[in-house]
């Protein structure tokens, strides 16, 4: 069936909504993989993207609920950042996030 043409603003809004849903799903997948609450990971990512500064202390705070020893927490943080660094880079849209280069490959 033929649908009426949409305005450019409706198309733009639809695309923006699609991108936001796709980003949220990707972040939820990362959170689940690393046994983190999606909302906590979203807050962590939002904080980085607002300031464009990666803060290792916030990463430690994010991982605290997992109640891991220092060695296991270090491995968990590295594994999380292996998945999160590309996501953050993509969301930063070419802007540099200070401190993130330590985790980029």
Whether pLDDT at 62 is above 90: yes
Res. 5 pLDDT band, cuts 50 70 90: confident
Q: Say if CB 91 and CB 45 are below 8 A apart.
A: yes
Average pLDDT over residues 17-26: 90
Res. 15 pLDDT band, cuts 50 70 90: confident
Nearest-CA neighbor of 52 among 78, 91, 81?
91
Res. 92 pLDDT band, cuts 50 70 90: very high
Neighbours of 103 (CB within 10 A): 20
Reported pTM: 0.82
Neighbours of 63 (CB within 10 A): 21
DSSP tag of 98: B
């Amino acid at each position: 069936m033929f649908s009426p043409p949409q305005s450019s603003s409706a198309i733009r809004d639809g695309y923006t909504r699609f991108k936001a849903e796709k980003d949220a799903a990707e972040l939820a997948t990362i959170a689940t993989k690393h046994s983190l609450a999606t909302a906590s990971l979203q807050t962590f990512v939002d904080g980085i993207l607002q300031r464009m500064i990666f803060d290792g202390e916030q990463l430690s705070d994010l991982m605290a609920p997992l109640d891991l020893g220092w060695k296991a927490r270090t491995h968990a943080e590295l594994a999380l950042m292996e998945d999160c660094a590309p996501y953050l880079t993509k969301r930063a849209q070419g802007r540099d996030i200070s401190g993130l280069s330590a985790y980029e490959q």
